[in-house]
Structures are given as structure tokens and as C-alpha cells.
């Protein structure tokens, strides 16, 4: 079961990374458009944001499963605790972005604080991956 959950964990990582990177690139193109972004770009923005959220939720579901079932919820060290703290922040940023986007008029750019937090969540995911490899090698 650990192997299966770890495969799904890494699928979540792929989905989250793809969605995050896609969102960032769509954001850059939308800014370059100079006026209101074309509808196709806005549709992509939604798709990538959803992919990122589903990926991170999959990481959480499978990660919690592995930790609770396979490791008995044990203390796995400081690096693991920091990895989980990074995962909490990533999830919080994605949820905040979703709430903020639901409140803005369709087609308008994300609020400034979301634009600043996007790259932060990207950086946090690099940290989480590095720490995971350090902990479990």
C-alpha cells in the first residue's frame, strides 16, 4: 500500500507542479496582452489553477495516509516537520487564491497579494521536494 500511495503522491506532485507552472505562464502572457486577456487564456488560467489545487490535495491525502498508516504518525524529524509546514503554506496560498479569484470580476487579474504569493508557493514546493528526498533517503 505504501508503494501505491507513494506513486499517487508523486502523481499529485506532477499535477501540482504542472498546474503551478502553467498558472505562472498564463499570468505572464495575460500581463503581456496589454488589455483584457483573450477568453482562451482566461479559460486556461482556471484549468491550471484547478490542476494545481487537485495536485496539492492529492499530495495531502496520500501524504497523510502514508504518515498515519505506514509511519504510525511518528515524529520523523525536523526536516519532515519543515516539509509539512511548507505544505501547509502551499495549501493556504492556493485556497486564498481560489477565494480571491471567486471574489474578483471575471476576466480581471488576480489581486496583487496573490500575484506576489504565486512565486512563493513555487519556491516552497522546491523546498518541500528537497526536504522529502533528504528525509526519506
Q: Which residues bind ligand HEM (CB under 6 A)?
A: 2, 6, 9, 13, 56, 59-60, 63-64, 66-67, 71, 84, 87, 90, 125, 128-129, 132-133, 136-137
State the CB neighbour count (10 A cutoff) for residue 22. 17
- Which of 32/75 has CB closer to ligand HEM? 75
Contacts of 136 (CB under 8 A, 6+ apart): none
Residue 105 Cβ vs ligand HEM, minimum distance, rounded to whole Å: 30
- Which of 15/56 has CB closer to ligand HEM? 56
- Which of 23/125 has CB closer to ligand HEM? 125
Residue 12 Cβ vs ligand HEM, minimum distance, rounded to whole Å: 8
Evaluate whether 128 touches 87 at the Cβ level (below 8 Å). yes
Residue 75 Cβ vs ligand HEM, minimum distance, rounded to whole Å: 12
Evaluate whether 95 touches 55 at the Cβ level (below 8 Å). no
Give CA separation, 69 vs 17, 76, 130, in Å: 26, 14, 23
* Side-chain-side CA neighbours of residue 115 (13 Å): 11
- Which of 109/122 has CB closer to ligand HEM? 122
Amino acid at each position: 500500500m505504501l508503494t501505491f500511495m507513494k506513486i499517487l503522491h508523486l502523481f499529485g506532485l506532477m499535477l501540482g507542479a504542472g498546474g503551478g507552472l502553467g498558472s505562472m505562464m498564463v499570468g505572464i502572457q495575460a500581463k503581456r496582452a496589454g488589455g483584457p486577456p483573450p477568453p482562451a487564456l482566461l479559460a486556461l488560467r482556471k484549468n491550471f489553477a484547478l490542476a494545481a489545487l487537485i495536485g496539492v490535495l492529492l499530495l495531502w491525502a496520500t501524504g497523510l495516509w502514508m504518515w498515519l498508516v505506514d509511519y504510525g504518525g511518528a515524529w520523523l524529524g525536523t526536516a519532515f516537520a519543515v516539509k509539512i509546514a511548507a505544505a501547509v503554506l502551499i495549501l493556504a496560498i492556493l485556497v486564498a487564491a481560489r477565494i480571491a479569484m471567486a471574489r474578483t470580476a471575471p476576466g480581471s487579474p488576480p489581486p496583487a497579494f496573490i500575484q506576489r504569493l504565486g512565486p512563493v508557493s513555487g519556491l516552497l514546493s522546491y523546498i518541500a521536494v528537497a526536504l522529502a528526498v533528504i528525509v526519506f533517503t
